[in-house]
Amino acid sequence: MGVRTISQEGFDEMVKENMDDLGMDPTEALQDAIETLSLQGVDLSGIVTCPVKDNPVIQCLDRLKQLNSDWTTDDHLDQEMMTAMLNKLTDLCLVDGSGNAAIATRNGGLELLSSLCSKFGAGCEKVLVSALNAMASLLHDVQSTNTFQKIGGSKIVVDILIHGHRDFNILNSGFSVVAAAATGNEILKESFMDLKIDELMIQFLREHQNGSIHSLYDAIRVLLTPDDNRVVASQVYGYARRFAKIGIAQALVEALHEGLSSPGLVSASIALKAVAVNDEICRSIAENGGVDAVLKCIDDSAEQGNKTVARAFCSLLSKLAGSDANKNTIVEKGMDRLIKLSSRFSDDPSVLQEVMSIICVLSLRSPYNAARAIEAGAGDLAIQAMQKFPGASQMQRNSCMMIRNLVVRNPENRTILLSNGIEKLIRKAKENNESCKEAATDALRDLGLDNYNL
């Protein structure tokens, strides 16, 4: 809001005036217009700053418009050409820093793609997938998602998902559009939910249980993420309860059983974490075998050395551990496995900090769990990791928080940790990492040290 903009016509006129009135050559006129507008704080994203006819995005859109006007469903050559141009547009719009997606959006790209998607029927699956992929590549900011909303994009995509439910390529591309459109846009989240997309999702999860529709998991995550800073209160918490009520948590747990062979495993874990917004849902996930499935994936990640899976599933387990009803189960079944995982990834502070986060949650207000954690080796984990990675600020902070919970109700743990030199490591973390100061102070205080503020 408040950002100054200019139309393509206005920009072109300014360049022309530089040439006609000031006698500049085309290159000089163009550069002067760019510099002048930039100094005035004008947003030039989406403005074609070369001769329009030479811009590859504009050329691509013009060719697509021509193919659209000449379209016949029985002309296979047209389909091949259309698919090729759509793929080219997608590639252009995915080039980082190019501004091509903004150029396509400003020049009617989304309107054109919605028109194309609406007319592709049976026998046009390949070109429809390409059109959906192109649409997802254009949805890159609030302006583009607002345009998508104004042209009724939500209904167009949901109708495609309904009619294309047998084709997982269409589903994957369709849900990619859902994820891109709903990112940072509360109105579109609501629009998709009003169209009962949650019911479609549970249907597709049950029909395609091999994790092939990985973008479906991304769409769930986005729909349940409060990422639109223009609204005071997001509705995503209510959406998560709706998702849980129709059984998506159970369906996602079943998806985890595919293990590391599933291409959408990490996305499925992130989606399940997004669904787990309250104690009731966390308990339900555990009752449906969620804790066992998560621990199995953690074991597999250690065995195969997959750090990405390890981080994702530790993060999910930490969320499930927030329910008191799940803590004992996780401690009894998972504490030793978590320490084993930390040993396997002792060279990666990003994994270690996730393990520490879980133990911190498990030990909160639970002397038994804190004792069990020390017995399993949590104290050694903290000491070794803090020694090895003094500059890993998030890990150092998580370690301090874990230590605090391990000792606050367990005086015997204080003795063990202090005798092994934990005070020096905490003070070093406090001194060297700004983000650790508060957590380190709390840990020193609960270790029983008088000069904890120093």
**431-446 pLDDT, tens digit each:** 999 999 999 999 999 9
Cα separation, 265 vs 425, in Å, equals 37
Q: pLDDT per residue over 282-323, tens digit each? A: 999 999 999 999 999 999 999 999 999 999 999 999 999 999
Q: pLDDT per residue over 200-224, tens digit each? A: 999 999 888 766 788 999 999 999 9
pLDDT at residue 2 is higher than 60 = no
What residues are paired with 43 via a beta bridge? 5
pLDDT at 74: 61
Cα separation, 266 vs 213, in Å, equals 12
CB 366 within 8 A of CB 323: no
Task: Please give the DSSP secondary-structure letter assigned to residue 43.
Answer: E
CB 356 within 8 A of CB 381: yes
Report the percentage of the chain scoring pLDDT > 70.
96
How far apart, in Å, are the Cα atoms of 91 and each of 111, 143, 146, 316? 19, 20, 22, 34
128-151 in b/e form (b: 16+ CB < 10 A) is bbbbbbbbbbbbbbebbbebbeee
Residues in the chain: 454
CB 322 within 8 A of CB 364: no
pLDDT at 334: 97
Contact partners, residue 202, CB within 8 Å, separation at least 6 = 246, 247, 248, 251
**Full-model pTM:** 0.88
> Between 77 and 83, where is the model more confident?
83
All structural domains of the chain with their residue ranges: 1-44
